[in-house]
Amino acid sequence: MARDKVETTAGIPLQPVYDDASLRAEEPPFDPARDLGAPGQFPFTRGIHPTMYRGRLWTMRQYAGFGTAAESNRRYKFLLASGQTGLSVAFDLPTQMGRDADHLLARGEVGRAGVSIGSLDDMQVLLEGLPLDTVSTSMTINATAAILLCLYVAVADARGIPRASLSGTVQNDILKEYVARGTYIYPPGPSMRLCADLYAFCARELPRWNTVSISGYHIREAGSDAVQEVAFTLADGIAYVEAARAAGLEVDAFAPRLSFFFNAHAHLLEEVAKFRAARRLWAQIMRDRFGARDPRSQMLRFHAQTAGSTLTAADPLNNITRTTVEALAAVLGGAQSIHTNGYDEALALPTETSARIALRTQQILAHESGVADVADPLGGAYAVEALTSEMATRAASLIAEIDRLGGMVAAIEAGFPQREIERRALEHQRAVESGARVIVGVNRYQDGAQAAPPSLHRTDPAIESAQRAALDRVRATRDTAAAHQALARLRAAAQGPENLLPVILDAVKARATLGEVSDVFRDVFGEYRPT
């Protein structure tokens, strides 16, 4: 049956056929010289490197972390042996929220959604035997990002690894926590101070470290559409650049180390256009709004993860196909690193089997599909160029609305992005429930013959008591006076203007726990409560 009206997930109408007339009809008309350029050249619509993956494949960075540091360390070594080229650490909720494993509010959550890290001892076990001077490490952590980075640096210092050789990313994107995810601790002002202090510390000490991964992924997972994902993510990026400049940093001194984290959803053409539009907009923002002159400051480098929200518990093997399409969108869109989800993640943490399949999916795309052999292989395609321009226009309009509200921090405080995401999430859910949006195996093509995954990952409930015992050992064997003195020094620094990263580093080296450091900031900064 013919479909008279077809739209992307963001509500952009799709024409049955695109041609030259489609591009000329845009407002303003499509101009290849202005909107495209060549790969590796402003505005980087076609990619940030001239040869893209012919020069170097994207980093295959599988996200992993569960239970104890020792368990996660074993999984990292398994993934590296399987061909993974970068580490990506998932932390449990207590670690994300700055609570030690023996805190009342940590009960039932220790080691569940990621690895439990409470002290320098845990971080040493997590990274045991891993080549920190040659492997890139990404840490998905926000409210406690400064503490986890300091723990990582402390391990490298103890091994004698030069800080200048450390490479990786710390997510450190607190604004999207207020918008979409909820793992904030402190109010926006002090949280932004911690972000800016981390930028300045890394500019001096860790020149190869990406100081923030500005995340649209969680905004999309919360229910936004593709246009909102681009607009709200870039608006967060604008706020971080403004915060760094307010802290006295020159834009070209820190902007080359900014990175982004986007969701790779299932609508292939829309997703490819989304990535290309985001690069174009960011290049223009950095050059025209902030006066960045270094081309590296204008480049939008991004990691992509396939969409967890598209995975279904019904017919979970279908998720292998979904993940493949989404990873293909990330490759065609020019991602610098990619994570592919395990097909069983709608049911549990991925097993080694599902993690291997997810990694092999990337390797097949890289080495067998041919899509990595040409830079921007869909560039010039009528439909993709039209969607790229429309996506950029709509996202720019939404960013302008946020500017009118006083910027992203003010917009968050007014609840604007939260309401917009909730509205789109509700519209999507209603479309699924009505059958207007087809989800295979969920609201159509349900034949009852569902294939269950062979096994599921189970988290050992004994992990929590083991982590509590480990914290007891830390407190019993450390130099208590030195730890308390370091925490007192941290409190004084938090009450003043100095950069907090060196003081946090001294505290964790004195074996102060993550919860103790976080509680100092709770006392000084307070805790955020949304109104």
Q: Which of the given ranges, 4-13, 174-183, 270-279, 436-445, has the highest pLDDT on average? A: 270-279
Q: Give residue 80's pLDDT.
A: 87
Residue 529 has pLDDT above 70, yes or no: yes
Please, are residues 391 and 227 in contact by the beta-carbon 8 Å criterion? yes
Mean pLDDT along residues 119-123: 97
Mean pLDDT along residues 3-15: 86
Q: Which of the given ranges, 1-15, 79-93, 462-476, has the highest pLDDT on average? A: 462-476
Please, are residues 216 and 263 in contact by the beta-carbon 8 Å criterion? yes
Q: Give residue 500's pLDDT.
A: 98
Q: What is the pLDDT of residues 225-237, one digit of tens each?
A: 999 999 999 999 9
- CATH homologous superfamily for 20-60+171-434? Methylmalonyl-CoA mutase (3.20.20.240)
Q: Give residue 141's pLDDT.
A: 94
Q: Give residue 21's pLDDT.
A: 81
Question: pLDDT band at 351, cuts 50/70/90?
Answer: confident
Q: Give residue 342's pLDDT.
A: 94
Q: With the CA atoms of 338, 399, 171 and 293 taken in that order, what torsion angle do they form, in degrees rounded to the nearest 10? A: 90
Residue 453 has pLDDT above 80, yes or no: no
What separation in angstroms does the CA of 484 have from each of 468, 513, 525? 20, 11, 19
Strand partners, 170: 139
Please, are residues 232 and 224 in contact by the beta-carbon 8 Å criterion? yes
Angle at which helices 226-246 and 416-434 cross, to 10°: 160
Residue 1 has pLDDT above 60, yes or no: no
Q: What is the mean pLDDT of the chain?
A: 92
Q: Give residue 461's pLDDT.
A: 76
Please, are residues 351 and 368 in contact by the beta-carbon 8 Å criterion? no
For the chain, the domains span 20-60+171-434
Q: In this prediction, what percent of the chain has a pLDDT beyond 70?
A: 97
Give residue 478's identity as a one-letter amino acid code. Answer: R
Q: What is the pLDDT of residues 491-507, one digit of tens each?
A: 999 999 999 999 999 99
Q: Give residue 452's pLDDT.
A: 58
Question: pLDDT band at 34, cuts 50/70/90?
Answer: confident
Q: Give residue 52's pLDDT.
A: 96
Strand partners, 260: 214, 302
Mean pLDDT along residues 414-425: 95
Q: Give residue 454's pLDDT.
A: 63
Q: Which of 24, 30, 26, 2 is nearest to 12 (CA)?
A: 26
Residue 348 has pLDDT above 90, yes or no: no
Q: What is the pLDDT of residues 299-316, one digit of tens each?
A: 999 999 999 999 999 999
Residue 380 has pLDDT above 80, yes or no: yes
